Structure 1
Amino acid sequence: MSSTNIPGSSQWAISDVLKRASPGRVPFSVEFMPPRDDAAEERLYRAAEVFHDLGASFVSITYGAGGSTRERTSRIARRLAQQPLTTLVHLTLIEHTREEMRGILQNYLENGVTNLLALRGDPPGDPLGDWIGTEGGLNYTSELIDMINETPEFAAFDIGIASFPEGHFRAKSLEEDTKYTIAKLRAGAEYSITQMFFDVDHFLRLRDRLIAADPIHGAKPIIPGIMPITSLQAAQRQMALSGSQLPAKLEADLIRAANGDEEANKDEIRKVGIEFSTQMAERLIAEGVSDLHFMTLNFTRATQEVLYNLGMAPAWGAELGHDAVR
């Protein structure tokens, strides 16, 4: 599926984007988070211009817990799509009734934003807390996919899901996690984007598990989620929120680089993080991934540095004549 529903823009289905040839070694995409205020929103748009010029295959915009960023997410998605950038919106089930979900989907459809990452979502306030359903709402991602498939006017949506290289922390085992992921792919999801991870072996084992469980649906594209580390504390916090841990050697290298004072040694920490992400990306490219999805936290520099190391972007640095594309 491809669509041109928005005047002056061109939106492609992500499942089609993943099949297209890339001018670089491999396509890359980026994730943005809904900013907290107008100034941060404008910074996001400037970052989007940079990634547009660098040739990002698509951009995604996350969704706040309980729809706390619903209006901002929708507005940003519309503007990104008009740049034009192929735009993927995240949608969670938290604190939405079934009818509210229909309204959100209808709004996206009317604005030509038809790439959807369907997610159950985490409880607001405590991502690791107990998941409590909303009265009149949906409880599982597969129910959202079914609702879309059963609604003729929603046929334009191209659906992706999340996948978890180390298994979702709520799953009792990797086997159970595999079963639920396959169920969502069979329901109609065309691809998955992984939670951030820092051990490529976990990604490869996920790919093997899914294919072994279902050679057809399990072979759908798995897009690796990569976050270039520029802060030890931020990386530790992000992993804690996802119920995961940094690999012991990487954490030790980052702690050694921090040398007891993260602020004073932030450049050394950044150097370790950028080099590690570059090595991850090199191995993933060698393993034939269809796309590299960078979690940017709405900044450009770290991702551009990794892309430069991969031979996929200009160098960063004013001494080189520029410090970004724009």
Structure 2
Amino acid sequence: MNTLSAYVAINNCILCQAGIGILSNNFLFFHIFTRPQYHKPKLTDLICCHLALVHIMMLLTVLFWRSPDLFESLNFFNDFKCKALFYLIRVMRSLSICTTCLLSIIQAITISSSTSWLAQLKHKSTHFIFFLSLLWFLCLCFSTSTIFYTVANSNVTQTNVMVITKYCSFFPISHSIRGLVFTLITSRDIFLIGVMLLSSVYMVILLLRHQRRSQYLHSTSLSPRSSPEKRATQTILLLVSFFVVMHCVDFIFSSSSIILWSYDSVILGIHDVVVSAYATVSPLVLISSNKRIIIFFKIYHRKALNFNKLSINLVVFV
């Protein structure tokens, strides 16, 4: 009974988390994408839009994956639904790490000094947007293995399958294939996280240099505001740090399940919470650090207060 209640509580937490993440990612996406007339969109804005879109699709897939009612509402065979949903989750998770890595690289190039070797890439950085289509292609191809070993429980007659949800399971995989897939995924993730950490260290060094220089340019009595580039860099550093921590926890859960070939329902729920955490938190961090969005909220709040005052005055007058 305790296990069942824990599973229900974790499942409700995942659904609530997915709902918050979908709303915040939608707001971030449409605010940046539909308001180019007020500012010239930066390359980092476009990448943030892509990251928000990826997270929306991933969280929507999680909703259908974790909710039996939504899963049954899809008018397809269970086997097809299991393969399609788990394949989409894998693709979106791959795109999430690739896009976050690309975002950190672009920001490192953006704030690099004119004397740096990275400055040569500043004028060519707009071409990085074409890498997004390449990332989609690679992630779609890289995740195709999940299609072959994901199956609906109704089609399973073996006893050594790994049960994932009420409807879906994994076929047993040979140790050689399991080791190959594990090695490829781990190598890719280590490479991308290594690039993120290198770009993060580079940005931290640049921020420290900028802070030292600003101490000579400004007196101690003044408190100059941080530049937009500095705020954006700090935000991306926060995102990268949070992503690395969540990904390390995710790696521990995933590797243990692959090695032991078993999944407890509660452990699986905690794993899904960790997987969806970055997709939920990242838009909130980007929204809270975006000056244009903060100004938008202030203007909206001021208009709402004025409307309430006008409504009260009309009621009093009547």
TM range (shorter): under 0.3
Between Structure 1 and Structure 2, the one with more helix by share is 2
- Higher CA-based Rg: 2
Greater per-residue strand proportion: 1
Q: Bigger relative contact order, structure 1 or 2, given CA contacts below 8 A and separation 6+?
A: 2
